[in-house]
Amino acid sequence: MDDMNLQEFEARIARGEKIEPGDWMPDAYRKQLIRMISQHAHSEIIGMLPEGVWLGRAPTLRRKMVLLSKVQDEGGHGQYLYHAAETLGATREEMTDALLAGRAKYSSVFNYPTLTWADIGMIGWLVDGAAIQNQTMLAHCSYGPYSRAMVRICTEETFHKKQGMEQIIRYARGTPRQKQMAQDALNRWWWPALMMFGPHDTASPNSAQLIRWGVKTKTNDELRQDFINKMVPDFHAIGLTIPDPALRYDAASGDWLGGEINWDEFWRVVNGDGPCNAERLQIRRTAHTEGAWVREALNAYAARAEA
């Protein structure tokens, strides 16, 4: 029976149909999606923290309002994605416990410190830009609830990217000190942003299955290369230097080819030993503890409403 179901499932994927929560799906498909979507949700929530620390130090009220709006958006993205994972049978409690216990992954890029206000602009342009590159692809994902969440999230991410672009372009065209701040931010965020696309395809244990079942429609390296090709001309246009001495333009392929990512750093940070891993998880654990009364009140209210 499962062989027949699998054949029909894969035929549906080949026809470009969306798989919905009540449809038959291989256990491995369900497991992959819970893994990927819950980690994506964790990334959105933890991703609020590097920018959140600058909310009280924004240079103008306008910048403060824009950043407040962005950080709130990220929290909302996390909720959409946790809910998408719940449609597969995962519970909010299980996912949260995995994160708080350090068992769940989230994007390593959020384990780096935000040292100046220019980092806020660079995160918006570079990090959210990388997220858009990936999430635009995921909007075509074979699992219905995930692909629909991506459509909504990408719309908001576009605003995140544009506000970052505006800031970095202003600083690059501003005083020498402002331009240096923008260059310093690019120097520190370029490589962690490239790591957002994951290990090389040859070192990606999940990609083959995700591609086969239409969750990913491009590989990690394809997405990364598309992103580099987009970002290099943009930064060159405003006089910033990409912190990769090996970077060169290959006219035959039209690609900007760079040096190798420091995969030792990648896996060290993924596995919990990055500059801010402990701090990020501690803040998230404290928020969970201090927010227990809200969850208890909501549960009590829901129980009484059902009684």
Count of residues touching ligand 3HC (by CB under 6 A): 29
Rounded to a whole number of angstroms, the distance between the first and last alpha carbons of the chain is: 42
Confirm if 28 and 209 have CB atoms less than 8 A apart: yes
What one-character DSSP code corresponds to residue 17?
P
Which listed residue (121, 198, 258, 274) binds ligand 3HC by CB under 6 A? Answer: 198
Mark the segment that binds ligand 3HC (CB under 6 A) among 23-31, 38-46, 86-94, 284-292: 38-46
d(CA 167, CA 50): 17
Nearest to 182 by CA among 99, 109, 238: 238
Residue 204 lies near ligand 3HC (rule: CB under 6 A): yes
Residue 270 lies near ligand 3HC (rule: CB under 6 A): yes
Residue 74 lies near ligand 3HC (rule: CB under 6 A): yes
Residue 111 lies near ligand 3HC (rule: CB under 6 A): no
Which listed residue (54, 171, 190, 197) binds ligand 3HC by CB under 6 A? Answer: 197
Mark the segment that binds ligand 3HC (CB under 6 A) among 34-42, 91-99, 164-172, 241-249: 34-42
Cα angle vertex 144, ends 138, 149, to 5°? 60
Residue 48 lies near ligand 3HC (rule: CB under 6 A): no
Element (H, E) at 92: helix 92-100
Give burial (CB, 10 Å; 0-12/13-18/19+) of 181.
Answer: buried
Q: Give the residue with the Cβ less far from ligand 3HC, 44 or 244.
A: 44
d(CA 228, CA 81): 27
Residues that bind ligand 3HC (CB under 6 A): 35-36, 39-40, 43-44, 47, 74, 77, 105, 107-108, 127-128, 131, 134, 157, 195-199, 204-207, 210, 220, 270
